[in-house]
Homo-oligomer: A and B are copies of this chain.
Amino acid sequence: MNEAQAIVGFVADEIAVALLGQVMTLSGQVTERMRAGLERLDLTESVANLVWLLRPDTDPLPLRKLAAQLHCDPSNVTLLSAKLEERGLAERRPHPRDGRVRTLVLTADGRRVREELIELVARHSPLAGLDKTEQKQLHALLDKAIASA
């Protein structure tokens, strides 16, 4: 038994590694699909990722929270937000109770673009190929996984 095999022995589950690969593959496919349509929407990938987080049906999020969800520095979100404002797709609003906080809210145009974005990726998503039952199973499993983290 050589050293490499010994280390392999440590790896908890072969199947967990395979699952990881699958998730990353899917994520890559979706991202690439999105890229293809971004030119038409005149968005960059990083801006699109921000738009994706800006749900119109919930309370607007502080820039700091958005940075956390994007796994990047808050200063980066400042730049992305400025780009969205320039294009008239969102606007920064002061937080009603905390003067330090800025929240980012989509405009009507922004909401429209967001729907197009979702449409773009959801329509051709590999996950859309599953039937309803499978989708529900998958949703439950992923939900459990995410919650356990």
Interface stretch among A26-34, A79-87, A96-104?
Answer: A26-34
Given A17-B118, A71-B31, A118-B17, A126 and B145 contact (CB-CB distance below 8 Å) = yes
Q: From known contacts A22-B139, A28-B71, infer whether A122 and B4 are also in contact, taking CB-CB under 8 Å.
A: no
Q: Which residues of the partner chain B approach A27 to less than 8 Å between Cβ atoms? A: 23-24, 26-27
Q: Closest chain B residue to A13 by CB distance?
A: B128
A95 at the interface (CB under 8 A from B): no
Interface code A1-14, partner B: CB below 8 Å = 1, 0 otherwise?
00110011011110
Copies in the complex: 2
Q: What 1/0 flags go to A38-57 for Cβ under 8 Å of B?
A: 00000000000000100010
Partner of A141, one of B30, B119, B128, B137: B137
Contacts of A56 in B (CB 8 A): 4
Alpha-carbon distance A3/B113, docked complex (angstroms): 12
Asked if residues A115 and B8 are in contact (CB atoms below 8 Å), the reply is yes
Q: Does more than half of chain A's interface fall in helix, strand or loop, or is it mixed? A: helix
Q: CA A19 – CA B111 in complex, angstroms?
A: 20
With A17-B118, A26-B146 as contacts: A138 and B138 at CB distance below 8 Å? yes
State whether the Cβ of A125 lies closer than 8 Å to any Cβ in chain B: yes
